[in-house]
Structure 1
Amino acid sequence: MKKPLQISQNVYLIDDHDLKMEERTGTYVLAEDEITLIETSASPSIPYILEGLNSLGISPEDISYIILTHIHLDHAGGAGLMLTHCPNAMVIVHPKGARHLADPSRLIQGAKAVYGDKFSDLFDPIVEVPEDRLIVKGKGDTLKISEKLTLEFLDTPGHANHHLGVYHPLTKGIFSGDTAGIYYPQLDREGIEFYLPTTSPNQFDPEKMLHSISRFMDLGIERIYFGHYGMSENPAEAFRQVENWLHVFLEEAKQVFADENQRIRLVENITKNLYDKVQSHLRKQGLADNHHIYELLYLDINVSSMGLAHYLMKLNGGTH
């Protein structure tokens, strides 16, 4: 296993090997007086987090807080299991997410709808978070984790209604979860800076997403700490690309939805059209068609297509 990366002042990144993929989902470690984790990924990632903490010389008993940007299982599914290793930690979550951590039955049901028979392999076990270990934080709330650092919480819907943004004033950085999209550091190494929106089901709302992104811009941030994956020090370019691709995602999805023949296999056809667009874009930038990133891109686009399909069906009164 590769060691955690120090990516800014007292901020480390552990690769969670989510979905058995490197550089898919990360856990951030804030090595302050009150040691704080941001995200846990799903339960199969917990051994990687524990190993990463060990390599940083941090005991799980030393963790004070585990912050979840939102409760989708690839960000929060392992929180209950992680707590069994962290007897002194509290879990911080959006007001709309707390009850689903205490009773994850609806989370499980939703993930099974997306991942089908792969669910158990990817997410088990999902352990309930005891209610007395939960702290609710919302818009305007703060959390002091050292004399110099107080984190600030923002309500940032668009990807999900139960989504927090976490502002780190010392580094002028935002832990954006999934609201501001996905960053692909694998492509950076090929000389291609690339970001996509993530529009997964079932609370995707493009207007709310754009509004949340504008809130990030208003903060004058200099860094984005992405849930998927890593830090970008070029927020203006990240926001530009995410907004542009969000427009492309919506237009392609609407065209498929408007064609009765294509609508029969709605998600499949949206996925194909978007994947072709993304591949064409990357091909023009010199990326080989057999690059390993395409496996991850296809997965991300397919899940985003499910959310686009759900959004359009909801917009059209459930017509399918």
Structure 2
Amino acid sequence: MQGVTELGNDIYLIDLMDMGIQERTGAYVIKADELTIVETSASPSIPHLLAGLKELGLDPADVKHLIVTHVHLDHAGGAGLFLEHCPEATVYVHPRGKRHLADPSKLIMGARAVYGEKFDQLFDPILPIPDVRLVEMEEDRTLKIGDRILTFMDTPGHAKHHFSIHDSGSNGVFTGDTIGVLYPQLAREGVELSLPSTSPNQFSPEDMLASATKIESLNPERIYFGHYGMSASPVQVFAQLRYWLPIFIEESERVWKANHGVESAEIAEQIKSALFAKVQAYLETRGVKLDNEVYEIIQLDLNVGSMGMIDRMEKLAKQ
């Protein structure tokens, strides 16, 4: 089925065509007795989510549970719009994120400041979610759906309002952005690459590594990334994070120190270029040529990631 991938264990992945890009952001469908969706992306992705459910022969009116790993707009921005099609659904959110779904004004203001004129195209509309339909999921809370149990874990690092969810039915973990971004375009060529997601403004490398250790302690067999898809090689995923995160930090600090007094935007561009060079060199040794389409997505990720690195260093400089 176009845009829908069966992952086993009654889990399906719908390509939400975030930013008009294939295999950028996905929603996971758990076909249990109580239909469950993990992630929605932004509102322009909702038609793709609805089309994917239709391909699966599912009615959005039957959705009982909607889970967002965190409230960044590329994961939860479309939740309010999607709920218009799901009259029976409850939304599960991190305690730190609940107020932003009930009143998204600060999310909107922040995104407009970053994306400017592109905001409407990328995110509009962002609808508030009635408080009665929101449930906070704290550490170790569980949700039973059919014969499987979803266990929620507080996993900061990418954001403070981020949880990850262990699924007993697949022994897999839905990790959102906590332990990085996966590039399935490369996996099909036998190269598994996942890079840290270091977007502003709550990125913390220490928390990210601690969250990875927490997830790793469960001995999962699968990792379900928000961007994009499933890895059946968790050992490789954790190794990638521990390899790349120090490189991100070292390169960013090197560029930062060498450009004292330079505008932040210019430093961020230099950090992006430095990180891209490292990733390109890594992939080149594995036979990935520079004309590979994956580099366009990597550039997008490093663009946002470099902003997070600048934000972190500016905060450290003020301490």
Q: TM-score, normalised by structure 2?
A: 0.97
CA distance in 1, matches of 2:262, 2:233: 38
Q: Which moved more, 1:106-115 or 1:306-315?
A: 106-115
Alignment of 1:163-182 (within 5 A): 163-182=162-181
Which residue of 1 is the match for residue 161 of structure 2? Answer: 162
SS in 2 for 1:66: strand
How far has the Cα of 1:115 moved from its partner?
2.1
Which residue of 2 is the match for residue 79 of structure 1? Answer: 79
CA distance in 2, matches of 1:95, 1:289: 42
The amino acid of 2:41's aligned partner reads S
Task: Render the CA deviation track for 1:52-100: whole Å, top value 9, x for unaligned.
Answer: 0011111011000100000000000000000011111011000000000
SS in 2 for 1:316: helix
Which residue of 2 is the match for residue 193 of structure 1? Answer: 192
2:259–2:267 Cα contact (<8 Å) kept: no
1:256–1:263 Cα contact (<8 Å) kept: no
CA distance in 2, matches of 1:37, 1:170: 15
Alignment of 1:17-36 (within 5 A): 17-36=17-36
CA distance in 2, matches of 1:262, 1:13: 46
Q: Which moved more, 1:273-282 or 1:22-31?
A: 273-282
SS in 1 for 2:238: helix
CA distance in 1, matches of 2:90, 2:165: 16
The amino acid of 1:267's aligned partner reads A
Structure 1 position 110 matched with structure 2 position 110:
yes
Which residue of 1 is the match for residue 255 of structure 2? Answer: 256
CA distance in 1, matches of 2:82, 2:9: 25
CA distance in 1, matches of 2:174, 2:262: 36
CA distance in 2, matches of 1:18, 1:58: 22
Judged with a 3 Å threshold, the aligned counterparts in structure 2 of structure 1 residues 36 and 205 are, in CA distance, closer, same or farther, namely: same
Which residue of 1 is the match for residue 313 of structure 2? Answer: 312
Alignment of 1:129-278 (within 5 A): 129-146=129-146, 148-260=147-259, 263-264=262-263, 265-278=266-279
CA distance in 2, matches of 1:186, 1:114: 28
How far has the Cα of 1:114 moved from its partner?
2.6
Task: Render the CA deviation track for 1:250-289: whole Å, top value 9, x for unaligned.
Answer: 0001011111358432211111111111111111211111
SS in 2 for 1:272: helix
Task: Render the CA deviation track for 1:98-118: whole Å, top value 9, x for unaligned.
Answer: 000011111112222332221
How far has the Cα of 1:309 moved from its partner?
0.5
Which residue of 1 is the match for residue 58 of structure 2? Answer: 58
Identity %: 50
How far has the Cα of 1:195 moved from its partner?
0.8
- Equivalent pairs counted in the alignment come to 317
Task: Report the RMSD for the aligned CA atoms in angstroms.
Answer: 1.2
The amino acid of 1:246's aligned partner reads L
> After the TM superposition, which parts of structure 1 deviate over 4 Å for at least 4 consecutive aligned residues?
none
Which residue of 2 is the match for residue 281 of structure 1? Answer: 282
Q: TM-score, normalised by structure 1?
A: 0.97
How far has the Cα of 1:130 moved from its partner?
1.0
Task: Render the CA deviation track for 1:12-66: whole Å, top value 9, x for unaligned.
Answer: 0000000110000000000001100000000000000000001111101100010
